[in-house]
Structure 1
């Protein structure tokens, strides 16, 4: 049976319009993105199969180009469309942080960092620079590494803080393994950066480690 033959309340698009996007399942959201299914398979059925084949929504959306395009009913056009959608989402969240009130909610910071860093195949060390009222000045990736780690240079972090005339910072990096638990090396470089930035009166509010859907906060653990 085609989705057109379903009751209106069960069709993903109509359901989204009446109840909101958060009321839809992963398969229903993916079906809207796919738009059409395959012969004998509705868009929702195809979405369910793709989620099963890839192991969930996050592995599918973060798949590399060749792996994504290999999926049934997908291809280069869908890959390009997906990358555009993901990038628009990241830019929207950054604009929200920049134009919104002072950044005081760990939840907002987590949501933004997950959008920026989850699923990256290599380690990236970044900073959110803040003014003296904790309003966002900029988000800036500073160092790129391999799957094992990124070399972080305090002198470069200090230089960037001065460039933005920052009063405070939230540091962040991802663990490509998906495990967000900070390492001893993470704690040691954080201590060095707290000291280095403190010397120019820039306060480090937090260091967040991003994994697969989980973000660990140094501040919440009492390490900063």
Structure 2
């Protein structure tokens, strides 16, 4: 989290326009996005209260729409602004993947997957289905799980790959715990998926595990 001591009386908006976004704390940025004010406190103080949970900013932005609406002081307008800002960030990360070879820029792939999966409170297994030039055809959440696991069925991944006429696929899932080290089950399912997709001439380019703020690549670690 960033902490900056501002000029006395300087509002978050004035600080942003005068010194840039990096000069603002998490609470000040959140206050600008929410554009809300509690009856008892100012916008920045209210935002600080919202960030006071055990998981801080990550916990707040991973909350469901229903959970956000249930928070005291947050109304439909503020929640809509927050969700819209998060969706814009995800789309900004995804756009380069639709315009060029995905695996020529693995850092952009990981950035998109971090936006897509990094804040989920439950485990999600998704696939990036690619054409023969490794351009993105579709990103699909194929399996949804619990806080500590998701059942993955190779047959269903093969069906989805054939549906999109994919030539290659990048596998990805998140670890809600934040840790990115692959489990023995992660390794086994990766091998099963690779073997199943190979039968229909679809290549597995990588399997990425997403934690909070970091990613683990099977390819970079020599496991694929």
Deviations 1:42-91 (A, max 9, x none): 32232223223454211111224454345453234322332233233323
Q: How do residues 71-90 of structure 1 correspond to structure 2 at under 5 angstroms?
A: 71-90=71-90
Deviations 1:174-197 (A, max 9, x none): 122332221101100100111111
Match of 1:3? none
Shift in alpha-carbon separation, 1:103–1:176, aligned structure 2, 3 A: same
Q: 1:119: Cα distance to partner? A: 2.6
Distance 2:98 2:164 in 1: 14
Whether the 8 Å contact between 1:131 and 1:168 is mirrored in structure 2 is yes
- Asked if residue 91 in structure 1 is aligned to residue 88 in structure 2, the reply is no
Q: How do residues 2-151 of structure 1 correspond to structure 2 at under 5 angstroms?
A: 10-38=10-38, 41-53=41-53, 55-65=55-65, 67-151=67-151
Number of aligned residue pairs: 219
5+ long unaligned stretches in structure 2: 1-5
5+ long unaligned stretches in structure 1: 1-5
Partner-residue secondary structure (3-state), 2:127:
strand
Shift in alpha-carbon separation, 1:33–1:179, aligned structure 2, 3 A: same
Q: 1:149: Cα distance to partner? A: 2.0
Q: 1:36: Cα distance to partner? A: 4.0
Q: TM-score, normalised by structure 2?
A: 0.83
Partner-residue secondary structure (3-state), 1:205:
strand
Match of 1:178? 178
Whether the 8 Å contact between 1:97 and 1:103 is mirrored in structure 2 is no
Distance 2:66 2:54 in 1: 13
Q: TM-score, normalised by structure 1?
A: 0.83
Distance 2:173 2:46 in 1: 35
- RMSD of equivalent CA atoms: 2.6
